[in-house]
Structure 1
Amino acid sequence: MARTIAKDHDQKRAHILKVAAQVFAAEGFDRASMTVLAKACGISKANIYHYYSGKDALLFDVLDSYLRALRDRICGLALDGLSPEAQLRALLREILLAYQGADDEHRVQSSAISALPQSEQAVLRGYQREMVAVMKTVVAANAPEVFDADAMRLHEVTMSVFGMLNWYYMWQSEADAQARLRYADVVTDLVLGGIAGQTL
């Protein structure tokens, strides 16, 4: 007879993922063991194996859950009807708000994705590429005369925008929503000012 799924299965799984992200971020993926992870989660080692076959599977689920939700939020943002500048401002604000409370997942993404098999890395990098594509479209719309003929420059500016956003979690991890919105506007103004300089 198949084992029934407990009513709180999803809640426990979400708890394991959040704690695992904290452990992987603090200890490093290589140094974290299933024993350490189970203890940090407040469950037995046997119980954590009920949810995950090993720490590789757990790492993939941490990153897949995080990046898929981030992709859905960013790529699903309603931008139609907004001016190019308003689109950029709205997109940067949404990204920084989405990053709030996800510093551990962000660190794990940066440090441990390469520990996964290539097939799983491809899934995760696919989410990243989709978000980059949205950013490229919005950035390009602010200066088509610059970027339509220079794909490399568009890529460089787009990744520079992500660079400014992604470093924020390292030095303003406790920032509240208002601070994040303010910084998003700072980045927007820097990007628009920089683009304007390239069109002169």
Structure 2
Amino acid sequence: MARTIAKDHDEKRGQILKSAARVFAEAGYDRASMTQLARECGISKANIYHYYDSKDAVLFGLLETYLRDLRDRVCGVDVAGLSPEEGLRRVVAEILLAYQGADDEHKVQSNAMGALPEEQQKLLRAYQRALVQYLSDTLQTVAPEAFAKDPSKLRATTMSVFGMLNWYYMWNSGAGSKAREDYADLVADLTLTGVAGL
């Protein structure tokens, strides 16, 4: 008879992934062991293997969950009825708020994604591309004529905005929601009006 799935199965998987993010971020994915992960989770290695059959499977589960949820949260921002400028402000703020509490996941994404098989990396990069495309589309609504004249500026602008947001993540990772919202406003102001408009 097939083993039934426990009622708290998804919750336990989530706990394992959160612990894995911490272990992989602190020790480095290559050096981290399933023994360390079990200790961090407060469960046996055998119990972890009930949910994930390898360390690679844990890494993929962690990054797939993190990037899918990030994509869904940001790309799900409702900008209907907002001006292009207000829409940009909303999306930029949502990205920074979505980063809150995900420092370990973000670090693992940056440092360990290359350890996964190419097919899995393709899926994860697709999540990243969707996020970039959504911000790019939002920026394009602000200045459609300017970007139509020189489309290369749209990608440069999009990645520059992400650069400002990722700088904040790296240097102010413990910042609360209000500080993130204030910085999101600064990024939007710089993007919309430049330094002279501050």
Return the TM-score normalized by structure 1. 0.95
Alignment partner, residue 54 of structure 1:
54
Which 5+ residue runs of structure 1 have no aligned equivalent?
none
Query: Secondary structure in 1 aligned to 2:126?
Result: helix
Residue 167 of structure 2 is matched in structure 1 by: 167
Per-residue deviation at 1:142?
1.3
- RMSD value, Cα: 1.5
Give, in angstroms, the shift of residue 12 of structure 1: 1.0
8 Å CA contact 1:143, 1:195 repeated in 2? no
Q: Does 1:65 align with 2:65?
A: yes
In the alignment, the residues of structure 2 paired with residue 54 and residue 109 of structure 1 have an alpha-carbon distance, to the nearest angstrom, of 18
Aligned length: 197
Unaligned runs of 5+ in 2: none
Q: Distance in 2 between matches of 1:104 and 1:167?
A: 15
2:89 and 2:78 map into 1 onto residues whose CA distance is 12
Map 1:1-200 onto structure 2 (within 5 A): 1-194=1-194
Identity of aligned residues (%): 63
Deviates more, 1:9-18 or 1:186-195: 186-195
Q: Secondary structure at the match of 2:149?
A: coil
Residue by residue over 1:111-144, the C-alpha shift from the partner in whole angstroms, topping out at 9 and shown as x without a partner, is 1111111100011110111111111111111111
Q: Does structure 2 retain, via aligned residues, the 8 Å contact 1:63–1:124?
A: yes
Which stretch has the larger CA shift, 169-178 or 57-66?
169-178
Give TM-score, length-normalised by structure 2: 0.95
Aligned mates of 2:161, 2:185 — CA distance in 1: 12
Using the alignment, how far apart are the partners of 2:86 and 2:157 within structure 1?
18
Deviation larger for 164-173 or 91-100: 164-173
1:16: how far off?
Answer: 0.4
Counterpart contact for 1:21–1:62, Cα < 8 Å: yes
Alpha-carbon offset, residue 181 of structure 1: 0.3
